[in-house]
Amino acid sequence: MIVRVERFKVPDTVEEQSLRGDVFRRGVRLVNDSNAAVFGEGNQTVTAATSIVALRGTRAERAETIYAFAGDTLVGIATLFLPTAESTNVADTVLYVDPSVTGEARAEAFESLVQASVDCATEFERTTVFGGGEGVRDGDITATTGYGGVNRGDPESEAWLRRGATLSQVYRYGKLDLESLTDLDQRLADAELRSRGYRVITWGGETPDHYRADMRTLHERMSTDSPIGDLELEPERWSDERLAEFERYKMGSGRRMFAAAVQHEESGRLVGYTQLVIADDPSARQHNLIVLQEHRGHRLGELLKLAGIAQLRREVPYADRITTMNAEENRHMIRVNEAVGFEPVTWTVVWQLRLGS
């Protein structure tokens, strides 16, 4: 199979009648087929409306998309996310190959997409590239964190290995079946009793004005307190404008966002939060969960998980599952997820390639 790669701009609308509009819509179908094969049917589903928002990027992160073709057939996609505020030496790549493409043809598609991604990163003067692949709990190659790995033969991972990349992290992708959580009210009440001195606050949509300063701090601490292994990432700085744009981005194209936070009663400050995002399909995605280090030890992570689930049930009765991703070395958070009822679906990896090294 001979693969050619081509970069296209994002269309102005999802219905745009043009070559780039047609390629974009074909790409959305390919992404869903790929995600279904990796994460399971109905998980990680995207729509044209949500995809066009993601591929437009934000002021804090530019996006570039590369399409791979065999003849006129679209066989793969690479999207590069290029930070513009911090970590401006980094290009973060996400690759998809049509699951019907197998064997040597699949390896060739990944090889072409990885090389095109490296070339694009170089064009934008990036010196570090993050790549992905299908991981396992224990594999032939272990991540530098000591948790999780990858088996030889995964075609995406092999393409990164050939270029000298290091396996930096493995992420666990988990799913909670909401119907299985039959004792939520009691478990939430018990969690609240164990967390004396703190109370839960929830809201939908954009953060209320009087909590925005605390939420900016929590977002900044996500970039320093969360496990990142040896990835070359800089601490983030969040202005009110950045927070507003991020929240609009998450709620783009009709998605709904819900937040649960814990407030330290003595100080009145928010010291932890989590967010859930859902579109028209029944699968909600958990985005971020953090408790400030100085307030850990009170099982606030479990309280946030349960409070977020209860809020989702109240506000979105059609939701039937929640998915989440956690660094495999984040053993505490994985134990919290398992206690709540999340089950592992699969593992994904993060490769780090230092260009010129």
Closest listed residue to residue 197, CA positions, set 265, 260, 261: 265
Does residue 217 contact residue 236 with C-beta atoms inside 8 Å? no
Does residue 301 contact residue 272 with C-beta atoms inside 8 Å? yes
pTM: 0.94
Summarize the confidence of residues 131-148 as an average pLDDT: 95
What are the tens digits of pLDDT across the range 232-246? 999 999 999 999 999
CATH class of 175-345: alpha beta
Closest listed residue to residue 350, CA positions, set 147, 214, 176: 147
Two structure tokens written together for 169 = 């992290």
What are the tens digits of pLDDT across the range 116-139? 999 999 999 999 999 999 999 999
Is residue 108 over pLDDT 70?
yes
Please tell me if the domain spanning 4-173+350-354 has the same topology as the one spanning 175-345: yes
Average pLDDT, the chain: 96
Query: Which fold, 4-173+350-354?
Result: Aminopeptidase (3.40.630)
Question: pLDDT band at 256, cuts 50/70/90?
Answer: very high
Is residue 58 over pLDDT 70?
yes
Is residue 333 over pLDDT 70?
yes
Is residue 348 over pLDDT 70?
yes
The domain ranges of the chain are 4-173+350-354, 175-345
For residue 40, which phi and psi values (nearest 5 degrees)?
A: 105, 150
Q: Residues in the chain, how many?
A: 357
pLDDT at 357: 63
Summarize the confidence of residues 282-295 as an average pLDDT: 95
